[in-house]
């Protein structure tokens, strides 16, 4: 029996629940904004139910940017089977960016069927390439997860940094000043250029307990901009996926990029 998972999301396709349920990486700080304090602790993991990690997030590229925009390392990183704990001092006032960096993951076989790439399920040893495939190739996952934390008054230096990966969210609204009645505006870019008409998936902590499970799908406009509106405050995570050519010298011709950003919405 053939087992495939759609790699690209098409309008009206029944694939949306599959993409939404896939494990997504996150970084969750114990505070998004503090007035005092010298330390911040973050959880890192992969989850289907936000933010309940069941696979630890590991990366050789974990790092942070201080309010002056300078790159630094975490003070402590401890990885367990289901979660990673990271700690950093936050001695200077202003906004920090904490990130996994771009991390490479699983390599999969992909096949082009009716002009669309599909993934041959790597978890099923009996999975076969569809007989009507017109092209077969290989793809590797590349993930980035970011979060901003402010000590005292939010600052802007880290918002002007280059993207941490090829697929990126760049906040227009300050990510530590998102208010319920104002929303959150950002741009989504690919290789530094705005990415138009791309789907993004929005989750809220505790959203699984709503009468109707909270999951929102939005698309960027022609200029790659996205404006999120919220019905209630809470901790949210936005995620996007995009398949593209790999950089020269990469292990596979294609990469499947996933980028996520965790943030807090207040009243």
At 173-225, the pLDDT tens digits run 999 999 999 999 999 999 999 999 999 999 999 988 887 789 899 999 999 99
Q: For residue 123, what pLDDT band results from cuts at 50, 70 and 90?
A: low
Residues 46, 53 contacting (CB under 8 angstroms): yes
pLDDT, position 16: 26
Indicate whether 17 pLDDT > 60. no
The single residue listed with the structure tokens 């999969």 is 108
pLDDT, position 121: 72
pLDDT, position 133: 93
Strand pairing partners for 194?
Answer: 189
- Higher per-residue pLDDT: 9 or 132: 132
pLDDT, position 126: 74
What is the phi/psi pair of residue 63, to 5°?
-165, 175
Strand pairing partners for 109?
Answer: 138
Reported as a single tens digit per residue, the pLDDT across 34-67 is 999 999 999 999 998 889 999 999 999 999 999 9
Indicate whether 94 pLDDT > 50. yes
Kindly state the percentage of the chain with pLDDT values over 90: 79
Reported as a single tens digit per residue, the pLDDT across 241-264 is 999 999 999 999 999 999 999 999
pLDDT, position 207: 83
Reported as a single tens digit per residue, the pLDDT across 127-144 is 788 889 999 999 999 999
Neighbouring residues of 72: CB distance < 8 A, sequence distance ≥ 6 = 63, 64, 65, 66, 88
* Residue 150 vs residues 31, 39, 56: alpha-carbon distances, Å: 9, 12, 25
Indicate whether 151 pLDDT > 60. yes
Q: For residue 266, what pLDDT band results from cuts at 50, 70 and 90?
A: very high
Q: For residue 119, what pLDDT band results from cuts at 50, 70 and 90?
A: confident
- Nearest one of 174, 168, 176 to 198, comparing CA atoms: 168
Kindly state the percentage of the chain with pLDDT values over 70: 91
Residues 32, 150 contacting (CB under 8 angstroms): yes
What is the phi/psi pair of residue 16, to 5°?
-50, -45
Indicate whether 91 pLDDT > 60. yes
Q: For residue 6, what pLDDT band results from cuts at 50, 70 and 90?
A: very low
Q: How far, in Å, CA of 62 to CA of 58, rounded?
A: 8
pLDDT, position 9: 30
Q: For residue 15, what pLDDT band results from cuts at 50, 70 and 90?
A: very low
Q: What is the mean pLDDT of residues 20-31?
A: 85
């Amino acid at each position: 029996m053939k087992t495939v998972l759609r790699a690209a999301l098409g309008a009206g396709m029944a694939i949306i629940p599959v993409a939404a349920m896939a494990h997504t990486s996150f970084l969750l700080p114990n505070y998004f904004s503090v007035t005092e304090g010298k330390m911040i602790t973050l959880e890192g993991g992969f989850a289907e139910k936000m933010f309940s990690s069941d696979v630890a997030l590991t990366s050789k590229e974990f790092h942070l940017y201080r309010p002056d925009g300078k790159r630094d390392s975490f003070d402590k990183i401890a990885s367990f089977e289901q979660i990673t704990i990271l700690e950093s001092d936050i001695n200077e006032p202003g906004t920090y960016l904490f990130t996994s960096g771009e991390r490479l993951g699983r390599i999969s076989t992909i096949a082009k069927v009716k002009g669309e790439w599909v993934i041959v399920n790597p978890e099923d040893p009996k999975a076969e390439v569809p007989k009507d495939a017109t092209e077969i190739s290989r793809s590797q996952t590349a993930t980035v997860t970011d979060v901003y934390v402010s000590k005292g008054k939010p600052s802007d230096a880290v918002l002007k940094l280059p993207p941490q990966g090829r697929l990126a969210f760049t906040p227009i609204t300050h990510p530590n000043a998102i208010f319920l009645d104002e929303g959150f505006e950002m741009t989504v870019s690919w290789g530094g250029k705005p990415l138009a008409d791309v789907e993004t998936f929005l989750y809220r902590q505790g959203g699984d307990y709503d009468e109707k499970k909270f999951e929102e799908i939005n698309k960027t406009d022609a200029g790659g901009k996205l404006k999120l509106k919220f019905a209630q405050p809470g901790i949210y995570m936005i995620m996007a996926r995009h398949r593209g050519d790999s950089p020269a010298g990469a292990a596979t011709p294609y990469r499947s990029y996933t980028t996520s950003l965790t943030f807090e919405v207040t009243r």
